[in-house]
Amino acid sequence: MLKIYNTLSGKKESFRKKTITLYTCGPTVYDYDHLGHAWNYFNSDILRRTLEYNNYKVKHVMNITDVGHLVSDADTGQDKMEKSAKEKKKSIWKIAEYFTKIFFENRKKLNILYPHIVSRATDCIKETQDLIKILIKKGYAYKISDGIYFNVQKFPKYGKLSGNTLEKLKAGARIDINLEKKHPADFALWKFSPKNEKRQMEWDSPWGKGFPGWHMECSTIAMKYLGKTIDIHTGGEDNIFPHHESEIAQSEAINKKRFVRIWFHTRHLKIEGQKMSKSLKNFITLREIKNPLALRYLFLTAHYRTPFNYTEKGLKAAESALKSLYNFFLSLEDSKRINKKYQKQFQTAINDDLNMPKAMSIVWKLIKDQKAKDKKQTLLNFDKVLGLGLKELKIIIPEKIRKLIKERETQRKEKNWEKADKLRNQIEKQGFLIKDTEKGTNISFA
């Protein structure tokens, strides 16, 4: 039985239904995505793949934050999108379009499944305003000079996800920048456009021209496509507070129902043991990763609830291991059956809260087991979860290499050995090895 750790309950939980609604907190598309983003979305991908491996029918929705994410969690400072547009001297709409495109290109390189539905925050302005109207009508929201705010004191369970209760927040609060707020933890549902400043993204509303709060967009999109209660909500651990805590408050205030059954959070990623930051010059974007599937392999060696430490040494080791896996797979003869013994071990591992390190150890145990049969089909079965591209492995071999191999085979048939040797050297210089057998030519990665 598949069990997943729930941040809310603090224990592993199973599912009693076969159709699962899954919501993933998407990116704020103001800059290039980095390794931390990759680690987070990779784990959401493993979750979805494991659900589907267990024959759950999954409906997967993800938002794109293209407005409303301010630089401060206290609902102050510039909108990250507006700030990026000014710095890059481009239209905010172009900025959003460009970085959304890059984000999905990177996901594809990492072999991360595409969500069934992707929704931008700017596509749901009307729905967001409709939900805010409900909160105002029910007495959960109030208006001050810079926007409409949620009154956390009206929701006594605020803090149940993060442990940041109202008492703790009030006791630990410093002098609040916004003295109009009824409680320091009150958060913005709708922000008014600053006076004497023309925003590129702003909309008319019953309360004044402005834009939605960051927390509000996720509740809106989740409820629009998945209903009042969703099964699993994923995100990084930095989203727990205040983002996910605020989502719970506003959503449950609206519907009087549990908003999310299981909260799935990925721990932080570090670079060579340090927090990733531009000031430390260890900020790595996915554009800098030459072999994305080697990065995916590296991620498979860790557990999502353990902080991940990325190292160059680790990535090189992953590249070597992945190459060995590919070469072994390419050497296998076709098989139609799955090795049930190893499949059971693999499924037991992934079903124990996505224990991917254990799952990978079973992969290599299968490879090294000389008595095991049906290895090829079994590895293909495992790759439904691993996502290392074994089914499409031949596609990874470039067309120009295939042409050289074909030409070499022609020269060998005509006994032009010197030309055949030269072609072999050309192939090997480009990172591939060839081995001649009675059944034909086998190719592997050098």
| Domain extent listing, the chain | 4-266, 274-394, 397-445
CA distance linking residue 292 with residue 287, whole number of Å: 9
Please tell me the least confidently modeled range out of 8-22, 117-131, 376-390, 398-412. 398-412
Closest CA to 316 of 302, 285, 295, 299: 295
3-state secondary structure of 256: coil
Query: For 4-266, CATH number?
Result: 3.40.50.620
**The pairing of beta strand 4-6 with beta strand 11-13:** antiparallel
pLDDT > 60? residue 174:
no
Average pLDDT across the chain, whole number: 93
Report pLDDT for 117. 98
Please answer whether residues 169 and 184 qualify as being in contact, where contact means their C-beta atoms are separated by less than 8 angstroms.
Answer: yes
Q: How many C-beta atoms lie closer than 10 Å to residue 173's C-beta?
A: 12
pLDDT > 70? residue 395:
no
Report pLDDT for 401. 87
Q: How does pLDDT run across 200-244, given as a tens digit for each residue?
A: 999 999 999 999 999 999 999 999 999 999 999 999 999 999 999
Structure confidence at residue 177 as a pLDDT band (50, 70, 90): low
Mean pLDDT of 167-184: 74
pLDDT > 50? residue 175:
no
pLDDT > 80? residue 396:
no
Same-fold call for 4-266 versus 274-394: no
Report pLDDT for 438. 76
Which fold does the domain 274-394 belong to in CATH? Four Helix Bundle (Hemerythrin (Met), subunit A) (1.20.120)
Q: How does pLDDT run across 310-339, given as a tens digit for each residue?
A: 999 999 999 999 999 999 998 898 888 999
CA distance linking residue 173 with residue 441, whole number of Å: 70
